[in-house]
Amino acid sequence: MIEIEEICSPEWAEWYRMTPAERWMESAKLWNHYISIGGSLDPEPDTQSPFFDPELQSEVASDGRSGMRVIRRSGV
């Protein structure tokens, strides 16, 4: 029987051995980290698309984010 490490790196082997639920939780951690370091989930405009309209391009906020305010729900 072929071992996973024979066809991929140990890091990927660890990933493949996780259950789908474990992979989902690890992916959520990665997305949270990406957002915390300034990443954006806003799609980049596709200037090659026939539906692209440069006049509808919105200004990007000075911090590079979407400009949307985050509303946190709390008991306050």
Split into its structural domains, the chain has a count of 1
Is residue 16 domain-resident?
A: yes
Residue 45 has a pLDDT of: 85
What is the rounded CA–CA span in Å between residue 35 and residue 12? 23
12/70: higher pLDDT: 12
Alpha carbons 34 and 26: distance in angstroms, whole number: 12
The rounded distance, in Å, linking the Cα atoms of 26 and 20 is: 10
Residue 25 is assigned to a structural domain of this protein:
yes
Residues written for the chain: 76
Encode pLDDT of 1-60 as tens digits: 888 989 999 999 999 999 999 999 999 999 999 999 999 888 888 889 898 888 877 655
Report if residue 32 sits inside a domain: yes
Whether 3 is covered by a domain: the verdict is yes
In a domain, 67, yes or no: yes
**51 in any annotated domain:** no
- The range of the structural domain enclosing residue 30 comes to 1-39+63-76
In a domain, 71, yes or no: yes
Q: Identify the pLDDT of residue 8.
A: 93
Structure tokens that stand for 17 in this block: 């051995």
User: Is residue 57 a part of any domain in this protein?
Assistant: no
Give the pLDDT band of residue 62 (cuts 50, 70, 90).
low
Asked whether the predicted pLDDT for residue 69 surpasses 60, the reply is no
Listed residue (20, 23, 13) closest to 4, CA to CA: 13
